[in-house]
Structure 1
């Protein structure tokens, strides 16, 4: 039982990080109805940016803050240089999807050119020792991941649900043309969406790098797919759905690693994705859209 409780806590801590990455998918999809497959590469960029600032003797907190700012700006740059021109030309949706795949490849290769393809050690900033609760050993890194991820997710939910900016984002997500007619600056909202998505990915990248103490250019591939599965499970486009989906994926794969074997933990997210798409394609919090023709 102690081992099961420990694995459950591991899954919750990891699931909140998945949720933080899944937020990027949900924000962009909610506004533009676009799956941003470059998000995993943006996550890897954020982790490498944090490593760079650590390497020039920034402290852990300033390094992550600088990485968050730069990665958020990268998200804005992706939209302005690649996706905005496609929207202006009213290209088919598949064009933007393929573009995000290409951008992912470009970012990953850029990281290989600048930092090299090999795995690089990341400083163990968050290790404050082991904590013991009635025989259950908990690593302090997990508490940092849990606390930071949960706090940031709650802040994002409050921004979207309780502020005027959040109201503008929800209006844009519901109907871009109507929101524009009502005075909402749609372009600014889209820019803010990519900024928030990039920033959340950078924070997740910094925490996961500190947890595993390693970074490499391809690190965003698997976690990007898991976060996408989490966002689909919760209902893509829904921030509460991203939170619930991330927790579900994290807990299920941690428990599966205990009872089935660690070799199968990465496949659990995709098994969940297939089951959800079969029985509830809209996800837990998603709604089936009615398309008028």
Structure 2
């Protein structure tokens, strides 16, 4: 058992989501940076889909009641165990009474804590993820609460640390044009110049501001009939400020989708802080 002594802006339980419920109006949710959660689980010897903790910006303090094996990945929040600095993306053993403290990260948005055995909460529709849009799943962590872990996996971790690459100054985000790029006077404007992540960004989506380059102009101010929305859809409202849909995106929408971010680049979009510059790079569909 682990005691939650302090919570920063927000911390939630996340696994790899609950696919297969679009017909009921429920999106998959899950970790915004799926690769970071997978890495945290691998470091502690869990299967990749076990539930962990997603921490926005940092500020979380945990105290072990029993011996716990943990790892912190994703955004590199400075971490200490009983005030001793510890490495990022490394295997950490907390003895009873020891505290893991996360400071506030200066790059990236979301850190992930993997706990050997996984976070043990009741699944909802097959997942332990909290969906901020619908409120489905375990509630966000609260000070004074507890984290219970599941049975210990048989396998022990094969590595005790993973390498980390610093993010580039300008993100290169691949995107597939369509399906509604014909609603724009010049759909190629999305791929010209650069964009900046705006202050209006959360697990639902990241709104972008034009940093340089031509604006996106729609041919008509009419609205589409409601249609399904995929993870990574770049939806453009009449303002011309595109929104990239992330983990808790709505399952339907009425604004045209000019392009869809490649699945492999979703995790990097989820870590982009307000002010982060990015460029979209056009890709062709794969067969």
TM range (shorter): under 0.3
More helix by share: 1
> TM-score, normalization: structure 2?
0.23
Between Structure 1 and Structure 2, whose CA radius of gyration is higher?
A: 2
The higher relative CO (CA closer than 8 Å, separation ≥ 6) is in: 1
> TM-score, normalization: structure 1?
0.23
More strand by share: 2
